[in-house]
Structure 1
Amino acid sequence: MFKDYNTNQLILPLDLEVKLQKNDIAFSIHQLVESIPHIAFDSFFRQTGCPAYHPRMMLKIILCGYTQSVFSGRKIEDLVKDSIRMMWLAQGYEPSYRTINRFRVHPEMKELIRQCFIQFRCQLVQEKVIDQEAIFIDGTKIEANANKFTFVWKKSVEKYHTSLVEKSNQLYNELLEKQIIPEMTRENDEQLSLEELAQLAEKIEEVVEDYTEKMEKSSDANERKQWRKERKTPKQLLKQVKEWIVRKHKYQKDFEIFGTRNSYSKTDQDATFMRMKDDYMKNGQLKPGYNLQVASEGQYTLAYGIFSNPTDTKTLTPFLDQIQEQYFSLPEYIVADAGYGSEQNYEDILTKRQRTPLITYGHYMKEQKKKYKTDPFKTNNWLYDQISDTYTCPNQQAVTYKYTSTRTDSTGFKRTFKIYECEDCASCPFRMSCTKGKEGTNRLLRINEKWEQQKEHIRAKLSEEKAGSIYRQRKVDVEPIFGFLKANLGFTRFSVRGKSKVENDIGLALMAVNLRKYAVRM
């Protein structure tokens, strides 16, 4: 006996919501998008033309597609026709892949994604899933949708630009000496600008035209041959100067694209070449990518940022600014690993933001080991006399203060060092173990008092029971997000180009990770 099955009989369609399970992820997506204020969708409204699909519906089906590890517009279009949850979210509409792709890279989409994160965090706070006591920050690098061999390096451009400047200056001086061209009014004595190179080309072209005119007027074959011979050199110079104009224009454009970066990709100019952990080529080759920074709590992403700088140290301050301006007020504790530990970051969090940084520094773990604490050659273990401002080295020699030095990094941040010098290292039996300096020189000790005070503050904070337990939670809070994103969701490479589009792409993917985790606990 079988259950009734007849494809020729008409069956009335029921509401698709009935067919979904109570904890289906579609309900979580629906609830989240419906909580976004109406004003966030006003920018999508148009008075003229064919009525557009509602942005709430479009956002729901894209989010649903991302939760199912579907990032292609064509495949999302197919899901709308095949998947029950997608049919319910779309309510019978079937937008094309072009409409889907245009919507998710729309400039106003960034505000919708931001509202998603704000509303999702409010939902977590109401349900007491997070306590808002600390945020955990970490970063990962994701490969850009760009060719691996379209790199442009800043050092190479600077090298070729310097060579061009030297050659153009040399040519200009030679033409002046030979009185081939008159002297020009220059804005900068060091190099010729694009306008000045264009003027130089005009002057040389006048010389070429003058020779050409003389050739045309002359009826003597030998004389024309002589004029043609003399015209050859300025004609070659004219061709060279025009080539320089094209190259200089290209170099200036390259410098604008570089900004503070050292490289960029020709196929995605916002991408920077970085060293990836997922090195599938197994050769350590740099690949174009973006630095993704995430702030989390309870293994949920609460805020994110995309940066072109490959180092985490310089991204912390702008990322915290972005969190405060766009997402929420910072909690008491800012937790991150040693990659973010620097004097500038500590000063920013302690002084400017009045928060507590639970961020270790480079040698924090080594300093906790017994071997480090008992090593007589570590300067942290040297005796210090505060009255005389001197250190005592392992050979019982006095290391006295000499002068103060100030260093300024690429961002303009200044660090102050006190320089100490040992009395005599010439006959020291411990010289080989104590210093790598040249023979005949004494050991120099550079002490950054502000940095040492900050490190002492961090050590004291992390030794507290509460702060220590919060810091130990970091590994199990923020790092699993990257595992879910790359391993479970399968998001290992961007599918769009340009920083603004990449921000939308990764924002949808991170929210999809949040929704999958949230739906499981329902």
Structure 2
Amino acid sequence: MFKNYNMNQIVLPLELEVKLQNNDIAFHVHHLVESIPQEAFEPFLRNEGCPAYHPRMMLKIILCAYTQSVFSGRKIEALLKDSIRMMWLAQGYEPSYRTINRFRVQSEVKDLIRQCFIQFRCQLVEEKLIDQEAIFIDGTKIEANANKFTFVWKKSIEKYHESLIEKSNQLYNELLENEIIPEIERESDEQLSVEELAQMVQKVDDIVSEYDKEIDASSDVTERKILRSERKYPKQVRKQLIDFVLRKQKYLRDLEIFGTRNSYSKTDFDATFMRMKDDYMQNGQLKAGYNVQIATEGQYALAYNLFSNPTDTRTLIPFLDEIEQHYFELPKHIVADAGYGSEQNYNDILSNRKREALITYNTYLKEQKKKYKQNEFNPDNWQYNEDNDTYICPNQQHVVFKYHSVRTDKAGFTREFKIYESEDCSGCPFRSLCTKAKEGNNRKLMVNEKWEQQKEYVRAKLSEEKTSAIYRKRKIDVEPVFGFLKANLRFTRFSVRGKSKVENEMGLALMAVNLRKFTAIN
């Protein structure tokens, strides 16, 4: 006996909502987007043309598709015809893949995604899933949607640009000596600008035109031959100058794109070439990518930002500014790994933001080892006389204070050092073990007192029971989010180009991770 099955019988359509399970992820997507205030959708209002799809509906279907590891616009369009949860969220509408792709890269969508993170965090606080005691910060690199072999390197461009400056100046002086062109007013004696090179092209072109007229006007074969011979050099110079103008424009455009970076991709100018963890060939191959920074608590991503520089040290301060301006007030403890430990970052958190920095520095673990503590040639283990402001080296020589030194790095941050120098290192039996200074030079020490105080602060905080317990949570809080993103959600490469578009896609992917985790525990 079989259950009744008749394809010729009309079945009344049911409300799609009843087909979904009680804890379906579509309900969580729906409630999250509905919690966003109406004011956030006002920038999408248009008074002209055909009425647009409601941005609430568009955001819901894209978020839901991302939770199912579907990132392609065409596949999202297909889901709207196949998936019950997608059909329910769209309420029968079927926007095309072009509409979906246009919507998710709009600049206004970035504010909607931020609202999603704000509302989601409020929900976590309300259900007491996070305690707002600390945030855990870390970064990962995700490959950009760019060709692997379209890299442009800053050092190469600077080298070629310097060569071009030298050649153009040389050519300009040569033209002046040969009295081919008159002297032009230059903005700088060091290099010719694009406009000045263009003036030179125009002046040489006028000379070539005069030769052309004289050749056309002459009927004497010998004279015409002489004129052509004289015209040859100006024509070669004109061709060379046009090449200089084009190259100058290209190099200046490249240097503007670089900014503070060392490389960029021709297919995505905002992407920088970085070393990825998935280096299958083990040859250190670089790939165009973005440095994604996230702040988590309870294994939920609460805020995010993207950077074009590959190192984490320079990203912490702008990321904290982004959190305070657009997401939430910073909690008491800021937790991160040694990649963020720098004098500038400690100074910003402790002095400017009045928060506690549970961030190790690059030698923290090394200092805990017995070998480090028992190394008598390590200046940290030398005896220090506070009254005389001197150190005692292993040869019992005094290392005395000499002068202050101030150094400024590329980012403009200033560090103050105290320089100490040994009284006499000549004839020291430990010289080869103690210093690499040339014979005749004494051992010198550079001591940054502020940095030493900050390191002592970190050691003290990580030795306390409460703060050390918070720091130990870092690995089990922020690292799993990247694992969920790359392994579970299978989001390992961006599908759009340009930083503003990539930021939107990253926000959608991280919120999809949050919703999947939230659905799993409810």
Q: Distance in 2 between matches of 1:273 and 1:420?
A: 40
Q: Distance in 1 between matches of 2:94 and 2:103?
A: 14
1:460 Cα deviation (Å)? 1.0
Q: Once the two structures are superposed, what CA deviation does each residue of 1:252-299 show, in whole Å capped at 9, x if it has no partner?
A: 111111111111000001100001111134321111000000000000
In the other structure, the counterpart of 1:372 is 372
Q: Distance in 2 between matches of 1:61 and 1:427?
A: 78
Q: Once the two structures are superposed, what CA deviation does each residue of 1:92-132 show, in whole Å capped at 9, x if it has no partner?
A: 11111111111111121101100000000010011111111
Q: RMSD of the TM alignment (CA)?
A: 1.1
Q: Does 1:65 align with 2:50?
A: no
Q: Distance in 2 between matches of 1:14 and 1:373?
A: 74
In the other structure, the counterpart of 2:330 is 330
Q: Distance in 1 between matches of 2:40 and 2:475?
A: 35
Q: Distance in 1 between matches of 2:55 and 2:520?
A: 26
Q: Does 1:416 align with 2:416?
A: yes
In the other structure, the counterpart of 2:267 is 267
Q: Does 1:291 align with 2:288?
A: no
Q: Does 1:214 align with 2:192?
A: no
- Partner letter of residue 299 of structure 2? Q
Q: Distance in 1 between matches of 2:147 and 2:438?
A: 46
- Partner letter of residue 437 of structure 2? G
- Partner letter of residue 312 of structure 2? D
1:22 Cα deviation (Å)? 1.2
In the other structure, the counterpart of 2:145 is 145
Structure 1 segment 52-201 matched on structure 2, within 5 A: 52-201=52-201
- Partner letter of residue 460 of structure 1? A
1:463 Cα deviation (Å)? 1.1
Q: Once the two structures are superposed, what CA deviation does each residue of 1:413-440 show, in whole Å capped at 9, x if it has no partner?
A: 1111111111222322222222222233
1:182 Cα deviation (Å)? 1.2
- Partner letter of residue 147 of structure 2? N
- Partner letter of residue 378 of structure 1? N
1:223 Cα deviation (Å)? 1.8
- Partner letter of residue 287 of structure 1? K
In the other structure, the counterpart of 1:247 is 247
Instruction: Return structure 1 stretches of 4+ with deviation > 6 angstroms.
Output: none
In the other structure, the counterpart of 2:14 is 14
Q: Distance in 2 between matches of 1:459 and 1:431?
A: 31
Is the partner of 1:284 in helix, strand or coil? coil
Q: Distance in 1 between matches of 2:356 and 2:25?
A: 37
Q: Distance in 2 between matches of 1:484 and 1:440?
A: 59
Q: Distance in 1 between matches of 2:426 and 2:339?
A: 38
1:226 Cα deviation (Å)? 1.2
1:217 Cα deviation (Å)? 3.0
Q: Distance in 1 between matches of 2:508 and 2:422?
A: 59
1:325 Cα deviation (Å)? 0.5
Q: Once the two structures are superposed, what CA deviation does each residue of 1:149-174 show, in whole Å capped at 9, x if it has no partner?
A: 00011111111111111111111112
Is the partner of 2:93 in helix, strand or coil? coil
Q: Once the two structures are superposed, what CA deviation does each residue of 1:430-456 show, in whole Å capped at 9, x if it has no partner?
A: 222222222332211111111111111
In the other structure, the counterpart of 1:519 is 519
Query: For structure 1, which segment, 292-301 or 433-442, has the greater mean C-alpha deviation from structure 2 after superposition?
Result: 433-442
Query: For structure 1, which segment, 416-425 or 66-75, has the greater mean C-alpha deviation from structure 2 after superposition?
Result: 416-425
- Partner letter of residue 420 of structure 2? Y
In the other structure, the counterpart of 1:495 is 495
Q: Distance in 2 between matches of 1:263 and 1:483?
A: 28
Is the partner of 1:190 in helix, strand or coil? coil
Q: Distance in 2 between matches of 1:206 and 1:13?
A: 81
1:91 Cα deviation (Å)? 1.2
1:39 Cα deviation (Å)? 0.8
Q: Once the two structures are superposed, what CA deviation does each residue of 1:60-98 show, in whole Å capped at 9, x if it has no partner?
A: 111110000110111111111111111111111111111
Q: Distance in 1 between matches of 2:120 and 2:280?
A: 35
- Structure 2 residue runs without a partner (length 5+): none
1:389 Cα deviation (Å)? 1.1
1:50 Cα deviation (Å)? 1.7
In the other structure, the counterpart of 1:468 is 468
Is the partner of 2:486 in helix, strand or coil? helix
Q: Does 1:432 align with 2:417?
A: no
Structure 1 segment 391-406 matched on structure 2, within 5 A: 391-406=391-406
Q: Distance in 1 between matches of 2:59 and 2:308?
A: 27
1:399 Cα deviation (Å)? 0.8
Q: Once the two structures are superposed, what CA deviation does each residue of 1:324-373 show, in whole Å capped at 9, x if it has no partner?
A: 11101111111000000001111111111111111000000111122211
Query: For structure 1, which segment, 84-93 or 127-136, has the greater mean C-alpha deviation from structure 2 after superposition?
Result: 84-93
Q: Distance in 2 between matches of 1:344 and 1:386?
A: 26
Q: Distance in 1 between matches of 2:211 and 2:44?
A: 64
Is the partner of 2:303 in helix, strand or coil? strand
Is the partner of 2:184 in helix, strand or coil? coil
In the other structure, the counterpart of 2:282 is 282
In the other structure, the counterpart of 1:342 is 342
1:234 Cα deviation (Å)? 1.1
TM-score by length of 1: 0.98
Q: Distance in 1 between matches of 2:107 and 2:280?
A: 33
- Partner letter of residue 153 of structure 1? W
Q: Distance in 2 between matches of 1:489 and 1:320?
A: 27
- Partner letter of residue 36 of structure 1? I
Query: For structure 1, which segment, 434-443 or 182-191, has the greater mean C-alpha deviation from structure 2 after superposition?
Result: 434-443
- Partner letter of residue 454 of structure 1? Q
1:219 Cα deviation (Å)? 2.7
Q: Distance in 1 between matches of 2:29 and 2:280?
A: 34
1:218 Cα deviation (Å)? 2.8
In the other structure, the counterpart of 1:236 is 236
Is the partner of 2:403 in helix, strand or coil? strand
Q: Distance in 2 between matches of 1:358 and 1:251?
A: 43
Q: Once the two structures are superposed, what CA deviation does each residue of 1:6-43 show, in whole Å capped at 9, x if it has no partner?
A: 22211112211112111111111111000000011111
Is the partner of 1:71 in helix, strand or coil? coil
